[in-house]
Structure 1
């Protein structure tokens, strides 16, 4: 009888990197990264737009909209951008964790609770399969999140510098 590699894996099913990847990919929140570029951007825009409900009153307390309209708008936008940044960080951490587990040759897992951690070395077939999944599925998502984060940080930096310049000239 030929034993398949999945028959001798001691790692619980829910802790196997391939299953963790599949679960993350199918989850409501983490699947955003798998959407088209415009659909992903639309999700982030909605977060930015809804977070204006929180950031605008805070900005209005510091910069009265009637007197300092432009500064108020920039400050509100910056505050909302923080929510988008937190969202990107959470997405990145989730995908980076799975990527790390897929890349490693050894898997740390728990059999029944926190105090009985075990380490299992992946067979070559598992390792190669996980490397392929990482290289072709997870790594592009991580790179997309990194590019989006750099773009957001750049926009926030420009907004912040603009805010400082406007304040100094008024």
Structure 2
């Protein structure tokens, strides 16, 4: 085999997993996973703030603040955590999709439209490179989201437990 045969890749450039990764890494919402922990925390705090603006009035309409403010607070906390979790899930799923494409030994791509999909088997060099990127670049991002989910889950669990204890 000559060198041009080895380097040939029929997958359009924008559908190659490594290029999808680069594009995702630079996009507005998905770049949150690549931010320093302080900047990431600020972004999550903003999502929590806007979730609170949506959730607190709803909780106040169900639990009258003068009579049952504590249950209103607990239900607001759960709502904020759920909305934040849903928002983060969108980012997480985008990163997970790219990780799966990078780790796969095959690339599914579309030549000109949705009706003519093809599959191409990655050469060993490309597969090794893609798997390294997935392991060392994307898995830490996903681990950060797992920790965020854990914190949100603990807040929901603690709120629910307090609700059950207080009655």
Deviation at 1:139, TM superposition (A): 1.0
**Distance between the aligned counterparts of 1:96 and 1:158, measured in 2?**
28
**Distance between the aligned counterparts of 1:16 and 1:34, measured in 2?**
21
- 2:55 is aligned to 55
Deviation at 1:121, TM superposition (A): 0.4
Counterpart contact for 2:110–2:116, Cα < 8 Å:
yes
Secondary structure (helix, strand or coil) at the match of 1:66 reads helix
- 1:100 is aligned to 100
Q: Which runs of 4+ in 1 moved over 2 A?
A: 1-6, 163-166
Secondary structure (helix, strand or coil) at the match of 1:108 reads strand
Deviation at 1:85, TM superposition (A): 0.4
Q: TM-score, normalised by structure 1?
A: 0.91
Secondary structure (helix, strand or coil) at the match of 1:107 reads strand
Q: TM-score, normalised by structure 2?
A: 0.93
Alignment of 1:141-160 (within 5 A): 141-160=141-160
Deviation at 1:61, TM superposition (A): 1.3
**Distance between the aligned counterparts of 1:5 and 1:43, measured in 2?**
44
Deviations 1:62-103 (A, max 9, x none): 111121122211211211111110022111111110000000
The size of the alignment, in residue pairs, is: 166
**Distance between the aligned counterparts of 2:68 and 2:6, measured in 1?**
66
Q: CA RMSD in A?
A: 1.6
Deviations 1:94-144 (A, max 9, x none): 111000000001001111111111000001111111011111101111111
| Structure 2 gap segments, 5+ residues each | none
Deviation at 1:2, TM superposition (A): 4.6
- 2:116 is aligned to 116
Counterpart contact for 2:81–2:155, Cα < 8 Å:
no
Deviation at 1:165, TM superposition (A): 2.4
Counterpart contact for 2:78–2:155, Cα < 8 Å:
no
Q: Is 1:64–2:64 an aligned residue pair? A: yes
Secondary structure (helix, strand or coil) at the match of 1:67 reads helix
Which shifted more, 23-32 or 35-44?
Answer: 35-44
**Distance between the aligned counterparts of 1:45 and 1:161, measured in 2?**
24
Which shifted more, 98-107 or 58-67?
Answer: 58-67
